[in-house]
Amino acid sequence: MRTSLRLLLAATGAAALVTVVAVPANAATTSTTATVAVQAGELSISAPDVLALAAAAPGSTATGTLSGVEVSDQRAGILGWATTAAISDFTSATTTTTIPADAVGFTSSTAAVEGTATVTPSDVAATSGAVQTATDVTGNNTATWDQTVNVAIPSDALGATDYTATLTYSVL
Amino acid sequence: MKQRSGMAIGLVLAALLSASAVVPSRAVAATPDAGGGDAADSGIGIGIRMLDIPAASQTDPRARAYIIDNVPPGTTIQRRVRVRNGTDTAQSIAVYPAAARISGGAFIGDEGATANELTSWISVAQPELSVAAHATADDLVTIAVPATATMGERYAAVWAEIRSARPSAGADAHHPSITSISRVGVRTYLSVGPGNGPQSSFAISSLTAQRDANGTPHVLAAVENTGGRAIDLSGTLSLSGGPAGLNAGPFPTERIVTLAPGAKGNVTVPLSASLPRGPWDAKLTLSSGLLSQSIAATVTLPAAGHRATTVAPAGLSGRELAWIIGGGIAVLIILIAAGILVAWAIRSRRRRSRR
């Protein structure tokens, strides 16, 4: 066999190898993670309800309670969850004034728990924080509690009836 | 309309006490869940679940509930999520990513739609889903990691959110109120790096028995995330070999402790106040997903009124073992080298003296 022919064969072989190797390599760069469809369990929280605060004079505390906040963890695992509450500043369109959210506190009742979980309430004195934390979870669990929101009205607050704020419950 | 004028000027916040103080818009509780089947309306309020998980981590419970992946820069991954409206009315559900962080041993989703580097890579196919009552809708989360992304792990959450309608509409448009938002999220731990990414590992270095102000004993385990990925630690402590052969436990950890790579933290196990002081043979097992570590140590609870006693684990930690083995080999090599040197010196001297 001629040397040139050998070289040609070798070159062809090398080219073929490169092609074979290159195709899957290209395919791999578009998506490296193969996924499978699973029916994982769901984490859910009760729908938001209107929270209304009782009337309060400046210098006192306005209080409102949201009953029956519920978290349902159907993920059938051991991962816990934490529910945090966060509140924005109270603003009034008529007086264009603000009651800062740092005057807000949250207190939670002890949760009624179904399933195996330890759900610990914690009081929050800041604009946001964990109000209920579920640990030692085994399988599906639900927790229901009452959430009280206290707003300390500064004594220099301007009177208005249209103060509004946004209260967010997050479960993660 | 002018009902409001009756209110004193000093009234800052006036409103009705939540008249509808009932559990809001729950699915009919009379239909029991048939063993956690996927009945569309078996839940409450708003729910989210993962539909895709990486084939490689099917057995990892964390990967079933969270988006956890390691990808090289320039990669795009996609995951489907199913969002369920468990209320009695059609809802517009917002689906969006927001920043999250690991702080104080917890995974914390930031408020609102706070952005971070990871959220800038995440897009949601349908940011606003219209879902009928007791129905579900699927959404597609795409994470496009740019080619310029640096190595490391980043955190975010993908949220599904519903807002309460503006309260008491009609009676008084200017009624003071709080708009409520409920949102439920999927944690996202995304590591950027080549191959399968850095290894996950952690070490338990010591156990401390202590009492809190109420006199309740706790065992505190000092843990360190020695790997390259965040971990969510929980587990149990078993006590055995106590006074009169008592066994106690298992006692669960107080909460799940999330540690970023390189971070140190404490895992607390509350014990019963009625436990005798010991000494106990304590065995603590902590796990994060499929990763698990145990240590055993002899623990004596502090006397009432005392604060703490710390003990090192009875077994050898990995690092100590590495020092022993590595150090041993080093010493052996030095000894052999010295032996050869001495033998050579003796032989050469003999040869010289023979001459």
**pLDDT profile of chain B (355 residues), mean per 10:** 39 32 29 36 80 79 86 90 90 93 87 89 93 91 92 91 65 57 92 83 88 84 89 88 85 86 89 84 88 87 71 56 68 82 82 65
Mean pLDDT score of chain A:
77
The residue of chain A nearest to residue B93, with distances taken between CA atoms, is A47
Contacts of residue B195, Cβ cutoff 8 Å, sequence gap at least 6:
B70, B72
Question: A53 vs B159: CB contact, 8 Å cut-off?
Answer: no
Question: Is pLDDT at A20 greater than 60 in this prediction?
Answer: no
Which residues in chain A are closer than 8 Å to B15, comparing Cβ atoms? 52-55, 64
Q: CA A32 to CA B51: how far, in whole Å?
A: 18
Which residues in chain B are closer than 8 Å to A33, comparing Cβ atoms? 54, 56, 69, 71, 75, 77
Asked if B123 contacts B76 with a C-beta cutoff of 8 angstroms, the reply is no
**Residue B116 backbone dihedrals phi, psi, to 5 degrees:** -145, -175
Question: B22 vs A30: CB contact, 8 Å cut-off?
Answer: no
Report the pLDDT value the prediction gives residue A61, as an integer from 0 to 100. Answer: 85
Asked if A87 contacts A73 with a C-beta cutoff of 8 angstroms, the reply is no
Which of B1, B9, B11, B13 to substitute to test the interface with A, most A CBs within 10 Å?
B13
Question: A53 vs B52: CB contact, 8 Å cut-off?
Answer: no
Question: A48 vs B162: CB contact, 8 Å cut-off?
Answer: yes
Nearest Cβ partner of B180 from A29, A49, A57?
A49
Nearest-Cα distance to chain B for A121, in Å, is 12
Which residues in chain B are closer than 8 Å to A43, comparing Cβ atoms? 47-49, 65, 184
Question: B255 vs A120: CB contact, 8 Å cut-off?
Answer: yes
**C-alpha closest to that of B89 among B146, B34, B200, B164:** B164
Nearest-Cα distance to chain B for A20, in Å, is 21
Nearest-Cα distance to chain A for B116, in Å, is 18
The residue of chain A nearest to residue B173, with distances taken between CA atoms, is A162
Report the pLDDT value the prediction gives residue B140, as an integer from 0 to 100. Answer: 93
Question: Is pLDDT at A12 greater than 90 in this prediction?
Answer: no
Chain pair A-B, CB pairs under 8 angstroms? 298
Q: What is the pLDDT of residues A91-143, one digit of tens each?
A: 887 778 888 887 888 899 999 999 888 888 888 877 788 889 888 888 889 99
Asked if B11 contacts A55 with a C-beta cutoff of 8 angstroms, the reply is yes
Which residues in chain A are closer than 8 Å to B190, comparing Cβ atoms? none
Q: CA B308 to CA B285: how far, in whole Å?
A: 21
Q: CA B271 to CA B253: how far, in whole Å?
A: 10
Three-class HEC string of B141-210: EEEECCCCCCCEEEEEEEEEEEECCCCCCCCCCCCCEEEEEEEEEEEEEEEECCCCCCCCCEEEEEEEEE
**Residue B108 backbone dihedrals phi, psi, to 5 degrees:** -120, 125
Q: CA B26 to CA B24: how far, in whole Å?
A: 6
What's the DSSP call for residue B132? Answer: -
Degrees (nearest 5) of the Cα angle B103, A150, A132? Answer: 40
Nearest Cβ partner of A50 from B18, B23, B45?
B18
Which of B2, B3, B4, B12 to substitute to test the interface with A, most A CBs within 10 Å?
B12
Question: A80 vs B18: CB contact, 8 Å cut-off?
Answer: no
Size of chain B in residues = 355
Report the pLDDT value the prediction gives residue B9, as an integer from 0 to 100. Answer: 36
- Quick check: helix, strand or coil at residue A115? strand
Q: CA A53 to CA A161: how far, in whole Å?
A: 11
The region of weakest confidence among A140-149, A151-160, B265-274 is A151-160
Would you state the structure tokens that stand for residue A17, as one six-digit string?
Answer: 């190898």
**Residue B6 backbone dihedrals phi, psi, to 5 degrees:** -70, -20
Q: Which of residues 244-273 of B touch A (CB under 8 A)?
A: 252-256
Report the pLDDT value the prediction gives residue B159, as an integer from 0 to 100. Answer: 94
The residue of chain A nearest to residue B187, with distances taken between CA atoms, is A172
Asked if B309 contacts B209 with a C-beta cutoff of 8 angstroms, the reply is yes
**C-alpha closest to that of B251 among B239, B261, B263:** B239
Q: Which amino acid is at B313?
A: P
Question: A31 vs B75: CB contact, 8 Å cut-off?
Answer: yes
| DSSP H or E segment with residue B335 | helix B318-354
Which of A114, A127, A170 to substitute to test the interface with B, most B CBs within 10 Å?
A170
What's the DSSP call for residue A155? Answer: T
Which residues in chain A are closer than 8 Å to B26, comparing Cβ atoms? 46, 70
Q: CA B76 to CA B73: how far, in whole Å?
A: 9
Report the pLDDT value the prediction gives residue B130, as an integer from 0 to 100. Answer: 92
Question: B61 vs A48: CB contact, 8 Å cut-off?
Answer: no
Asked if B192 contacts B71 with a C-beta cutoff of 8 angstroms, the reply is yes
Highest mean pLDDT among A24-38, A144-158, B166-180: A144-158
Q: CA A8 to CA A5: how far, in whole Å?
A: 5
B136 to chain A, any CB pair closer than 8 A? The answer is no
Nearest-Cα distance to chain A for B89, in Å, is 11
Nearest Cβ partner of A40 from B7, B65, B184?
B65
Nearest Cβ partner of A35 from B36, B55, B184?
B55
**C-alpha closest to that of B99 among B184, B188, B183, B229:** B188
Q: CA B293 to CA B281: how far, in whole Å?
A: 17
Nearest-Cα distance to chain B for A24, in Å, is 15
Q: CA B299 to CA B296: how far, in whole Å?
A: 9
Nearest-Cα distance to chain B for A7, in Å, is 36
Nearest Cβ partner of A159 from B9, B23, B26?
B9
Under the phi-then-psi rule, with left for phi > 0, alpha for psi from -120 to 50, and beta for the rest, what region is B23?
A: beta
| DSSP H or E segment with residue B269 | strand B264-270
Q: Is the pTM of this model over 0.80?
A: no
Report the pLDDT value the prediction gives residue B160, as an integer from 0 to 100. Answer: 93
Report the pLDDT value the prediction gives residue B200, as an integer from 0 to 100. Answer: 86
Query: Virtual CA dihedral for B176, B182, B187, B192, nearest 10 degrees?
Result: -50
